[in-house]
Each structure stands twice: as structure tokens, then as C-alpha cells.
Structure 1
């Protein structure tokens, strides 16, 4: 009898023969991979996105107050920027009050679409044309977003929920908002949305800003 057949008999005589499906695929199980700190396309980790969503649950009910207080404090420090809201020498109060909420609404929508990169980028695309057609520079957007980040982190609303993870996540979100207006592709796409080429009654080509 061959050694192979003897080995097979000895294995079978010891009890239940092992089936092929019961045998391990690898000599030892592979270690579980922790993907919670793996950044996504926008460089947010899973724990950072969870931290942002959790914080925003407390911020959202006070969204109007946060936007107004931060914006007016921002304009107090940068008085020259009030000229963006002047029309014929007068301050457009309706536009001023509306803008105080615009950045909060943008940030809120970005937080809500963190897991969907297409919707996340679409939110940025839709906010940019309005700023560009009104002559608002990217530096202004970055400054306002940074001021809002500071206001949020210092607010009593999330005082007990603040962490290094939340700070890093908000910093990244502000960085995205500030840098997005500098991307040539984004600016061209935004301008094509904000501007429309039309013709007057004489057939002359004119560029009309859509409001």
C-alpha cells in the first residue's frame, strides 16, 4: 500500500473526515481593516463626516442666528466689504439679510451631501455663479467661511461636542469652499451659468447677466 493511501486511511480512521469546504482558505485569518480613517475623494474620513453630521444636528435649529451674528460681526471687522451690498449708493438691506444666511445654507447642504460627491460638488457649483456675477472675490468667500468656522467652534451650542476631529473636518470644509472658486474649470462653468448671450432688437449681440 502506498504512503498516500495509508495517510488517507489514518486520517479517516480518526473520526469525521474533513470536507474541502471546511478547510481554511488562508493559513490564518486576515486582519480586519479599519476604514474609518481612510479619506474619501474630498479628503474627509468616516469619523470626520460623522462628527460634522452630529455637530450640525445641534447647529441647524440656530442656523439663522448663526448666519446673522457671524456675518454682521464679519462686516464690522471688514467695513469696506459692505460696498458689495450697495446699489446706487444705498445699502440693499434685503440682499444683506439674505446673504447672512447664504453661507450657512451652503455649509449645511455640504454637510448633508458628504457621502455623495456628485451632490456635494453640485452644491458648490450652484453657489458660485451668484458670487461671481456680483463681483465677489474668492478671498472674500474664504474669509467669511473661516469666520463662520471660528464662530461655530466657539459657540455654546456645540461646546460639549467639540473635538479635534470636528475642528479638522470644519477646517477641511472651509478649505474646500475657499479653494473651489479658484479652480479654473469651476469658474468657467459658473460663469456660463451666470451669463447668457442674447441679441437686442437690432441684432446686436449682448451679454445679459441673469438674476
Structure 2
């Protein structure tokens, strides 16, 4: 067969199928929809399985020491001068539990909704996202200190990504007055 007949055959249907083009190779770690690599996600989940039975203890250790360092923070839990211990204890537990839910969440939309809802709730109490981010950083520092023997760069990067997501959220401070109406002073 001549070369002309071979080139005509290859230009037909077979020419469209063969030779197959090679897919582009992605160099580096593949990230999920939330921006975590597989190693980061795995390290976070493994450490969270170690933390889960001790949520209350870690929450209290971090929350109380952080609130005492930030002297005005503990005043958020005062009712007419009295320290509301029930609210303080439950808030410490809920804080660590919320952090665990963020680690376990795989859906990016739900992840953002959880952070947004948390931010909106705290904005009503005049607690900004920077404050929440600093508290999350204190938890991360405590966990990395407690689990320093099993710590890894992947775990540290995973924790830092969660802290950055908590810190980067804008504060949603409502400017509404009674009955959700704007006052004359709120208008430009």
C-alpha cells in the first residue's frame, strides 16, 4: 500500500479516534472544593477522632484561658454582674464541637453557610470575625501542642486553612433598631 492510501484511511473515523491525546497532567496535590488536599483532610480527620472524646476538656481549657487573656471577653457571659457559668460551659463545648463539624463537612456550600451563620449569630452580640478567628487560632495552637508527637505539616496547613476561612469572613453587623426599621440617624 502506498502512503497516500494509509493517510486517507487514518484521516477517516480512525483518525478522529487514534492516536488518543494524552490528558494534561496536574503536578502537585489535588485539592477538593474547599481547598484542602487529601493529606490535609486525612490529617484533620485523624486528629479530630483523637479530640472528639475530650471535646469538653479541650473546649474549657482553650476557651477559659483565651477569655481570661482577653479581659473583656469573659464579660460577654455576665448577666447583671453575675457570671453565667451554664452559658460559659455550654459555649466552650459548642465551640469545639462546631470546629469539628467544620472539619467533617465536605460540601462547600454547607461549609460556607455554617461559617456565615456562626458569624451572623456572633455579630448580634458584637463579637467580630477577628475575635472568632483568634479563638480558633488558640484552639489550633493548643491542639498542636497537645498532639505534637503526631503533628505533621499537612495537619498544620489544614488547621491554618480553617482558621483563615474563619478570619476572612466579613462582619455582618445589623444597623437596625427596634422592629427592624432603620432610624433617621442610620441614613446617609
CA contact 1:109–1:123 (8 Å) conserved in 2:
no
- Choose which of 50, 53, 59 in structure 2 pairs with 1:58: 50
Q: Distance in 1 between matches of 2:123 and 2:73?
A: 15
> Residue 171 of structure 1 aligns with which residue?
160
Q: Distance in 1 between matches of 2:50 and 2:150?
A: 9
Could you say which structure has the larger radius of gyration?
1
Q: 1:106 to 1:25 in 2, by over 3 A?
A: same
Instruction: Report whether the alignment pairs 1:102 with 2:94.
Output: yes
Once the two structures are TM-superposed, the CA of residue 173 in structure 1 deviates from its matched residue by: 0.6
**What SS class does the counterpart of residue 122 from structure 1 fall into?**
helix
Once the two structures are TM-superposed, the CA of residue 46 in structure 1 deviates from its matched residue by: 2.3
Larger RCO (alpha carbons 8 Å, 6+ apart): 2
Once the two structures are TM-superposed, the CA of residue 5 in structure 1 deviates from its matched residue by: 10
In structure 2, list runs of 5 or more residues that go unmatched. Answer: 7-13, 183-188
In structure 1, list runs of 5 or more residues that go unmatched. Answer: 8-19, 200-204, 207-211
Once the two structures are TM-superposed, the CA of residue 3 in structure 1 deviates from its matched residue by: 3.5
Once the two structures are TM-superposed, the CA of residue 177 in structure 1 deviates from its matched residue by: 1.1
- CA-based RMSD: 3.2
> Residue 134 of structure 1 aligns with which residue?
125
**What SS class does the counterpart of residue 132 from structure 1 fall into?**
helix
Give runs of aligned pairs for residues 1-211 of structure 1, distance below 5 A.
Answer: 3=2, 25-26=19-20, 33=26, 37-113=29-105, 115-155=106-146, 158-180=147-169, 182=170, 187=172, 191=174, 198=179
Once the two structures are TM-superposed, the CA of residue 31 in structure 1 deviates from its matched residue by: 7.2
- Larger % of strand: which? 1
Once the two structures are TM-superposed, the CA of residue 166 in structure 1 deviates from its matched residue by: 0.5
Q: 1:6 to 1:150 in 2, by over 3 A?
A: closer
Runs of 4+ in 1 over 4 A off after TM superposition: 4-7, 29-35, 195-199
How many residues of Structure 1 are paired with residues of Structure 2 in the alignment? 175
CA contact 2:68–2:74 (8 Å) conserved in 1:
no
Q: 1:172 to 1:5 in 2, by over 3 A?
A: closer
